């Protein structure tokens, strides 16, 4: 059992890749600010990297009161062991009550190691946070079972309370460059920089299409598209509206489009502003990857297709007539 009163402050792990801060860090600072204010405590960002001092002010501008900065050559490229040891080392020294990180490839790889080192609970891939101010417990809300079930998780006895959170769910605060904050460079144990696994190289995705995880608009095609040739209808609409192309597993398995476009439980989780589902029935596994999109538009000839239950706008009809009509109208604008 830990003395919960020893633990204070909300922390956000500020993720960077090759010196660029990941947007999820700003989103979490936005949410973190709200949590810290309600708890009447401070919001801090933890920034690990090499030659990244200049990024600390960006974090302060987006809501951090403090930035714990470790600038070390060993932190240049992502390394699970070193990142885990360094973050755990800082947390042991300064004892935050909450640590949030993005549910990204980086966050989900090393945060579990941190939680073991800190003897703390960890909740994955949250989409909402609430507070029980009495007990200072964080309600960590997340989808499970491919999104068909929501769960509210608490970590009643231990501190820090740790969670990874999905990106594009929380809103960043607008940058306020006049904000002042403190930059702290903690002492790190020499041992924390030791590692067995070595980063060798980074290979950028060769695919030239827009990464669907990042896209603001996605036009997705399913089995209803019918063939590889017909997928052009989806691509044309995506191009006209300035979006990326997504697909259901049925479309990917049929070989109409590559796996990197697959949305859903075994594909990518996306959260764009607009998601247009064309000829997709809306199986739970597909919904799991896209149901938190802002505006879902479903085009399907079957009025009973489950996709309509998550849609904001529904169009019952033949996509072979409707898609070209929308593309045409968009081009004329």
Partner 1 sequence: MKIVVCIKQVPDTTDIKVDPETGTLKRETAGTVMNPFDMYAVEEGLRIKEKIGGTVSVLTMGPPMAKEIIKVAIGMGVDEGYLLTDPKLAGSDTWATSYALSKAIQKIGFDIVLFGKQAIDGDTAQVGPSTAEYLDIPCITWVKKIREINEKEIIAERMMEDGVDVVKSPLPVALTVVKEINEPRLESLKGKMRAKKYEPITMDLAAIGGDETKVGLKYSPTRVKQTWSAKREPGKAEMLTGEPDEIAEKLLNKLKELGCLK
Buried b (16+ CB within 10 A) or exposed e, 75-90: bbbbbbebbbbbbbbb
Q: Name which position in 289, 291, 297, 327 contacts ligand FAD (CB under 6 A).
A: 289
Q: Name which position in 8, 34, 50, 154 contacts partner 1 (CB under 8 A).
A: 154
- Would you give the binding string for partner 1 spanning residues 61-80, x where CB under 8 A is met? ----------------xx-x
Q: Name which position in 9, 160, 224, 243 contacts ligand FAD (CB under 6 A).
A: 224
Q: Does 257 bind ligand FAD (CB under 6 A)?
A: no
Q: Does 265 bind ligand FAD (CB under 6 A)?
A: yes
**For residue 137, what is the DSSP state?**
E
Residue 260, exposed/middle/buried by CB under 10 A (0-12, 13-18, 19+)?
middle
Task: Name which of partner 1, ligand FAD, none residue 80 binds, using a CB cut-off of 5 to 8 Å depending on partner kind.
Answer: partner 1
Task: Name which of ligand FAD, partner 1, none residue 181 binds, using a CB cut-off of 5 to 8 Å depending on partner kind.
Answer: none
Q: Does 37 bind partner 1 (CB under 8 A)?
A: no
Q: Name which position in 201, 227, 229, 255 contacts partner 1 (CB under 8 A).
A: 201
Q: Does 84 bind partner 1 (CB under 8 A)?
A: yes
**Phi, psi (5° rounding) for residue 39?**
-85, 0
- Residues within window 253-282 making contact with partner 1, judged by CB under 8 A: 259, 265-266, 273-274
Residue 24, exposed/middle/buried by CB under 10 A (0-12, 13-18, 19+)?
buried
- Least distance from partner 1 to the Cβ atom of residue 298, Å: 7
Q: Does 261 bind ligand FAD (CB under 6 A)?
A: no
- Would you give the binding string for ligand FAD spanning residues 123-142, x where CB under 6 A is met? --------------------
- Residues within window 290-309 making contact with ligand FAD, judged by CB under 6 A: 299-302, 305
Task: Name which of ligand FAD, partner 1, none residue 333 binds, using a CB cut-off of 5 to 8 Å depending on partner kind.
Answer: partner 1
Long-range contacts at 204-208 (CB < 8 A, ≥ 24 apart)? 205/260, 207/258, 207/260
Buried b (16+ CB within 10 A) or exposed e, 174-196: eeeeeeebebeeeebeeebbeee
Q: How many CA atoms lie within 13 A of 172 on its CB side?
A: 20
Please tell me whether residue 298 adopts helix, strand or coil conformation: strand
- Residues within window 223-252 making contact with partner 1, judged by CB under 8 A: 241
Q: Name which position in 52, 319, 326, 327 contacts ligand FAD (CB under 6 A).
A: 319
Calculate the alpha carbon distances from 60 to 63, 182, 183 in Å: 5, 8, 9
* Contact window for partner 1 (CB under 8 A) among 25-33, 40-48, 64-72, 121-129: 121-129
Task: Name which of ligand FAD, partner 1, none residue 208 binds, using a CB cut-off of 5 to 8 Å depending on partner kind.
Answer: none
Task: Name which of ligand FAD, partner 1, none residue 187 binds, using a CB cut-off of 5 to 8 Å depending on partner kind.
Answer: none
Q: What is the CA radius of gyration of the chain?
A: 22
> Could you give the CA distance from residue 302 to residue 23 in angstroms, rounded to a whole number?
38
Q: Please, what is the angle between helix 319-332 and helix 231-241, to 10°?
A: 30
Using CB under 6 A, list all residues that contact ligand FAD. Answer: 222-224, 248-251, 262-267, 279-281, 283, 285-286, 289, 299-302, 305, 318-320
């Amino acid at each position: 059992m830990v003395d919960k009163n020893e633990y204070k402050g909300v922390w956000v792990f500020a993720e960077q890749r090759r010196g660029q801060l990941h947007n999820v860090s700003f989103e979490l600072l936005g949410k973190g600010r709200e949590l810290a204010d309600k708890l009447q405590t401070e919001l801090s960002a933890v920034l690990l990297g090499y030659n990244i001092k200049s990024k600390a002010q960006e974090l302060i501008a987006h809501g951090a009161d403090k930035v714990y900065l470790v600038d070390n050559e060993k932190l240049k490229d992502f390394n699970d062991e070193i990142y885990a040891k360094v973050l755990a080392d800082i947390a042991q020294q300064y004892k935050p009550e909450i640590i949030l990180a993005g549910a990204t490839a980086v966050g989900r790889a090393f945060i579990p190691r941190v939680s073991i080192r800190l003897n703390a609970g960890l909740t994955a891939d949250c989409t909402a946070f609430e507070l029980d101010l009495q007990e200072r417990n964080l309600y960590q809300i997340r989808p499970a079972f491919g999104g068909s079930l929501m769960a509210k998780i608490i970590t009643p006895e231990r501190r820090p309370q740790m969670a990874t959170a999905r990106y594009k769910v929380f809103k960043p605060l607008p940058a306020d460059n006049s904000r002042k904050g403190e930059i702290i460079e903690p002492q790190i144990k020499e041992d924390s920089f030791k590692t067995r696994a070595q980063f060798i190289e980074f290979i950028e995705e060769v695919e030239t299409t827009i990464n669907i995880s990042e896209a603001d608009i996605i036009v997705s095609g399913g089995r209803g598209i019918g063939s590889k040739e017909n997928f052009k209808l989806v691509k044309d609409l995506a191009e006209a509206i300035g979006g990326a192309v997504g697909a259901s597993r049925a479309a990917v398995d049929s070989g109409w489009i590559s796996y990197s476009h697959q949305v859903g439980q075994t594909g990518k989780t996306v959260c764009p502003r607009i998601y247009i589902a064309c000829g997709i029935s809306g199986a739970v596994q597909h919904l799991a990857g896209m149901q938190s999109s802002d505006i879902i538009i479903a085009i399907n000839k079957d009025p009973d297709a489950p996709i309509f239950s998550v849609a904001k706008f529904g169009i019952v009809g033949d996509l072979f007539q409707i898609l070209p009509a929308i593309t045409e109208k968009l081009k004329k604008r």
